[in-house]
Amino acid sequence: MIGNERTGGGYRPGYEVAAEQVLELIARLRLRPGDRMPTENELAQQLGTSRTMVREAIKILSALGRVRAQKGRGLYVADDQGMLGGGRWASFFLPTDLDHVYMLFEFRRTQEMATSRLAARRATPTEVQAIERAAGVCRRGFDTGREDLFNEGDDAFHTSIAIASHNVFLQIAVREARRLQAQSNLIGLRGSVGGHAAKAIEEHEAIYQAIRAGDAEAAAEAAATHVDNTLDDYRREIQQRIFSAADRPPSAGGGG
């Protein structure tokens, strides 16, 4: 039964815990924006709490833009225009502006340090196992040369740590920052499963081991190292592209 929960930051109200568990359920069921969610009664049953607690949790998630309640129709996963992903960020961020990309990495560094530090203090055994599994998927992707599997594991790894932080706002911030970074990847500013991937596997392991050991500061430092090295790899990739473009002769065809 969900009740007030004691964490490193003191007691947390049950509706906040319930809100996090609803988010975890959405992820576990692989529900996408627009998908219908279980009813309040079904959620209460699955979470082992009261309908009143679920209703309060839904109010929080609705305010954050994660859940949409339609009168007479039920609950739905909201579209990808949540608290941080809506018009303000989407219109501000330019994936082709290197200053924006570097600022995004700077923001991600702060996020990843915070989530890793809190995860080391708050992660349940089940959440630690989820982090370990995600790191394993990432490693398999690297070992087999499958970029899709590597990226799937990488995304799950960082998402699992955010969930283990037990902070709804950090979970949303991590999701949105990674979504924005994916926009810059779409314009071709990324490597392959090679490059920094081998180091990333080791860095994931260092973060995981620190969280497992409950060493908050070691987890934060390992996360900072991981983001810093990813940024260095990104900078090298951009420099290579700039230099290779400068060395190419002018094209005879028209551009787009």
What are the sequence ranges of the domains in the chain?
A: 5-77, 87-246
| DSSP helix/strand/coil, 5 | strand
Backbone angles phi, psi at 109, to 5 degrees: -60, -45
Model confidence band, residue 228 (pLDDT cutoffs 50, 70, 90)? very high
% of the chain surpassing 90 pLDDT: 42
User: pLDDT tens digits, residue range 41-63?
Assistant: 999 999 999 999 999 889 888 87
| DSSP helix/strand/coil, 10 | strand
Q: What pLDDT was estimated at residue 185?
A: 62
Output helix, strand, coil percentages for the chain, rounded to the nearest 5: 70, 5, 25
Within 10 angstroms of residue 51's Cβ, the number of other Cβ atoms is 14
Q: What pLDDT was estimated at residue 194?
A: 45
C-alpha separations of 25 from 32, 37, 108, 122, 179 in Å:
12, 10, 25, 19, 20
Domain at 87-246, CATH homologous superfamily: GntR ligand-binding domain-like (1.20.120.530)
User: What CATH number has the domain spanning 5-77?
Assistant: 1.10.10.10
**pTM of the predicted structure, to 2 decimals:** 0.65
> 87-246: same fold as 5-77?
no
pLDDT greater than 90 at residue 253? no
